Amino acid sequence: METSQSDEPCTSPSSSASAAGDPACDLVTVPARQGLEAVDILRRGAADAVGPVLHDDGCDTLGFLVPAGTAAGWDVPGSTCTKTDGRGLRLNPAAPVEGSDWLLPPGEADLATDPVVLRRALGEAARMIEAADSCR
């Protein structure tokens, strides 16, 4: 797996399929608090803009499935985007990693989260968290 932190803006990458027939995807990982805020923001939007989301209890992170190729241009501070090439990640209801579980399982969400929409939601979530923390 490779991670990318690039200054290039993310564009909507094309989809491809893995050998098992599941669509290839990349995985954007963020701290759970920011990720949960982003999920709320995405679900309040006009369209169902959020794809499957994986919660890793052990690392206290959320992972958003995004279209394959997103990792090449991902540059959101505080997050990483892992290029999976479909390796080890299958879109079925069983969680792909021990100690994790689907917050939004495949089949109950879009195929993948639009990276442009996710970028905006993560930025808004970070600002909301910063404002809430500064009020304490």
Q: Is residue 29 within 8 Å of 80, Cβ to Cβ?
A: yes
Return the pLDDT at 45.
82
Q: Average pLDDT, whole number, for the chain? A: 78
State the distance between the two ends of the chain, measured CA to CA, in whole angstroms: 39
Could you give the CA distance from residue 75 to residue 30 in angstroms, rounded to a whole number?
12
Confidence (pLDDT) at 94? 62
- Flag whether the pTM goes above 0.75: yes
pLDDT tens figures, 84-96:
765 545 566 566 6
Q: So where are the chain's domains? A: 25-135
Q: How confident is the model at residue 99 (pLDDT cuts 50, 70, 90)?
A: confident
pLDDT at 5 over 80: no
Mean pLDDT confidence for 29-34? 96
**Residue 100 — very low, low, confident or very high, per pLDDT cuts 50/70/90?**
confident
